[in-house]
Amino acid sequence: MKDERKPVASYSSFILHPSSFLVMSVRVRFAPSPTGYLHIGAARTALFNWLYARKVGGTFLLRIEDTDLQRSTDESTRSIFEGLAWLGLDYDEEVVFQSANADKHRAAAARLVEEGKAYRDFTPKAERADANVKQEIAERARHAASEGVDHRANPFRDLPLEESNRRAASGEPFAVRLKVGREGRSRFEDAVYGEQLRDYSEIEDLVLVRSDGHPLYNLSVVCDDIEMGITDVVRGQDHLTNTHKQILIYEALGAAVPRFAHLPLILAPNKAKLSKRKHGEVVSLTTYRDRGFIPAAFRNFLALLGWSPEGEEKEIMSLAELTRKFSLEGIHRSPAVFNFSDADPRRWTDDKALWMNAEYIRTLPLEELLPMVRAELGSAGLWRAEYAGDGRDWFAKTVDLIRQRFFTLKDFSGQGRAYFADDFEFDDAAVAKNLKKEPRLKELLPALGERVQRIENFNAATAEETLRAFADESGVKAGLLINASRTALTGQSVGPSMFEVFEVIGESRSASRLRDAARLV
RNA sequence: GGCGCUAUGGUGUAGUUGGUUAACACGCCGCCCUCUCAAGGCGGAGACCGCGGGUUCGAGCCCCGCUAGCGCUACCA
């Protein structure tokens, strides 16, 4: 995966604040682990980090936490890059791959051992069944509770350094654990959740480096965040409790502790954690791109999940507006439910997201929408070069006409197929309702087709004139012919004002479709 | 088991230093518009603000307790 961003200065950049105080500029990062596709919750974390950075004139960095070699995949890394690009979230400086820093992490741990802030634990590694870790943890805790816990009882905690060094040198395997104080408590002020306290007695001497030499998550994030000069850590609430452990590591390393802001989780309709495994593709960001969402719309929707602008009722906001309005204070504490139904295809994702996408489709400046429709038609094999040449005006006009009732970009090639191709499908219900209910249409439709074919100066107005006149002569209501025409020309029972449709489809195609539809009556 | 976080209509949210008929958006229902469906306009149903106690003349907003959901708790990230 090549990174195209140009490297920027150094991360210890300072800016001169208007108040003339020297203020360290904000540096935030989005640090996803490349396992599975980019989760919408992660995408939202990226968005908030980006908004915050851009709001305060800070720096937004990207770090791929690929330390879990087993689960990390290139494909997943790619989906992260694609997802960010799709959302329009550009990052500054070069991407950091955490796995490349493993030696530094180990070195940091070694240093802590030397300084007596961490120790080697020679206890043989306990095998753990990954499947029921949670259960094991609970059981172990229950056990410990009944016998009284002392997290500092590890026999190797106070092993003299010389002996520790000797055993290590002899090749005996060991894990490195942080020495957590016997007394005291950890404290920090979360920008979202407020003051957080945790007694040291509740924190065990956490493992920094596994006995196979693999640095663990808590150590890696802290080391990398220090090295990248991160000033504000904005991430999911699932990291809230562990923050205390990380602060302990910052302190042991003698580094400044950043500010923290934890984001409320995004839950599934049943209030369970939204997970790729249980909920499938709805949680994957790329799904939205693939199913015809407009980036700006989904981004807008995501921004409103767990955050709301102060004193603002308008919900449709551009990236610039979001950036202007964004503040950590506006982030909520309660989790947000992402609403969707796997039973109803029309509600495959959140109602509001769908509505917002439709809103964008119908209100976006046409010039911005056109390229997206072009891409969609292209992938559906419906794009024609002439739409960018002589047919440009026709194309723009047609898109503008049909976009009014579409929900996703997919609709342009789906429901909208008849406008761009002759091989479209007829909706059974539409045929039954508009064609089959009146036998006379078998003669009327071809006859109307003849009239239409002969119209001079063909357009919506003349098509209407012709159709209404023909309806009068034939003694039928205009509505009958109008609705029948809609199905004849588009295969559907719903759509734009019919005479506009005539104009856009053109006289010859309209005429032949009217004639052909007779066989469906 | 322990610790932590959260709790306003189905969903997303607003609710200023406690005093409102509890607001907005999505969704739902109806009417108008109309060649259909949307959009738009108008109107409606839907919340005793998780439950129980307080404090107060008055509590969604303050205090206590409870419950539920979720998170963390690992030589996972």
Whether residue A102 contacts residue A311, with contact meaning beta carbons closer than 8 Å, is answered with no
Query: Which distant-in-sequence residues (6+ apart) come within 8 Å of A401 by Cβ?
Result: A496, A500, A501, A504
What pLDDT is recorded for position A484? Answer: 96
Give the DSSP per-residue string, A208-271: EE-TTSPBPHHHHHHHHHHHTT--EEEEEGGGTTTHHHHHHHHHHHT----EEEEEPPEE-TTS
Angle (CA) A223-A100-A177 rounded to 5° is 40
Angle (CA) A219-A193-A309 rounded to 5° is 115
**What angle, rounded to 10 degrees, do the helices at A74-87 and A295-303 form?**
90
Q: How far is the CA of A420 from the C1' of B39 (A)?
A: 23
Which nucleotide has the least CA–C1' distance to A269? B11
Closest CA to A267 of A194, A353, A192, A340: A340
Angle (CA) A325-A407-A296 rounded to 5° is 30
**Catalytic positions of A:** 276
Closest CA to A239 of A270, A206, A264: A264
What pLDDT is recorded for position A219? Answer: 97
Span between the terminal Cα atoms of chain A, in Å: 57
Residue with tokens 């979360």: A190
**DSSP designation for A71:** T
Angle (CA) A293-A413-A515 rounded to 5° is 155
Q: How far is the CA of A104 from the C1' of B73 (A)?
A: 27
Closest CA to A69 of A47, A45, A98: A98
d(CA A431, CA A445): 13
E-assigned strand segments in A276-382: 336-337
Residue with tokens 């956490």: A206
Strands A59-64 and A27-30: parallel
Per-residue pLDDT of chain A (521 residues; tens, 9 = 90+): 333 333 333 333 344 434 434 457 999 999 999 988 899 999 999 999 999 999 999 999 999 999 887 888 999 999 999 999 999 999 999 999 999 999 999 999 999 999 999 999 999 988 776 667 888 888 877 777 777 667 888 999 999 999 999 999 999 999 999 999 999 999 999 999 998 989 998 899 999 999 999 999 999 999 999 999 999 999 999 999 999 999 999 999 999 999 999 999 999 998 888 877 788 889 999 999 999 999 999 999 999 999 999 877 789 999 999 999 999 999 999 999 999 988 888 899 999 999 999 999 999 999 999 999 999 999 999 999 999 999 999 999 999 999 999 999 999 999 999 999 999 999 999 999 999 988 999 999 999 999 999 999 999 999 999 999 999 999 999 999 999 999 999 999 999 999 999 999 999 999 999 999 999 88
Q: How far is the CA of A188 from the C1' of B34 (A)?
A: 62
Backbone angles phi, psi at A364, to 5 degrees: -60, 145
Cα dihedral A317, A318, A323, A324 in deg (nearest 10): -70
Give the DSSP per-residue string, A94-144: --EEGGGGHHHHHHHHHHHHHTTSEEEE-SPPPP--GGGHHHHHHHHHHHH
d(CA A16, CA A132): 52
d(CA A485, CA A462): 15
Q: How far is the CA of A516 from the C1' of B32 (A)?
A: 37
Nucleotides of B under 7 A from a protein CB: 1-8, 10-15, 24-27, 35-39, 69-77
Which nucleotide has the least CA–C1' distance to A497? B35
Q: How far is the CA of A310 from the C1' of B61 (A)?
A: 18
Q: How far is the CA of A24 from the C1' of B2 (A)?
A: 39
Angle (CA) A352-A86-A345 rounded to 5° is 35
d(CA A224, CA A23): 22
Which nucleotide has the least CA–C1' distance to A144? B1
- Alpha-carbon Rg for chain A, nearest whole angstrom, is 31
- Residue with CA nearest to B13's C1' atom: A308
- Residue with CA nearest to B8's C1' atom: A334
d(CA A500, CA A318): 31
Residues comprising chain A, all counted = 521
Q: How far is the CA of A494 from the C1' of B30 (A)?
A: 21
Amino acid at the residue A441: L
Which nucleotide has the least CA–C1' distance to A493? B36
Which nucleotide has the least CA–C1' distance to A69? B77
Query: Which distant-in-sequence residues (6+ apart) come within 8 Å of A154 by Cβ?
Result: A119, A121, A123, A177, A205
Which nucleotide has the least CA–C1' distance to A220? B77
Residue A44: C-alpha distances to residues A236, A414, A415, A494 (Å): 9, 29, 31, 36
Backbone angles phi, psi at A422, to 5 degrees: -95, -15
ipTM of predicted assembly, 2 dp: 0.94
Question: Could you tell me the domains of chain A?
Answer: 365-413 (no CATH), 428-520 (1.10.10.350)
Q: How far is the CA of A122 from the C1' of B47 (A)?
A: 59
Tens digits of residue pLDDT in A409-453: 999 999 999 999 999 999 999 999 999 988 999 999 999 999 999
Question: How far does CA A31 lie from the centroid of its chain?
Answer: 14
Query: Which distant-in-sequence residues (6+ apart) come within 8 Å of A79 by Cβ?
Result: A37, A38, A284, A285, A286
β-sheet bridge partners, residue A196: A188
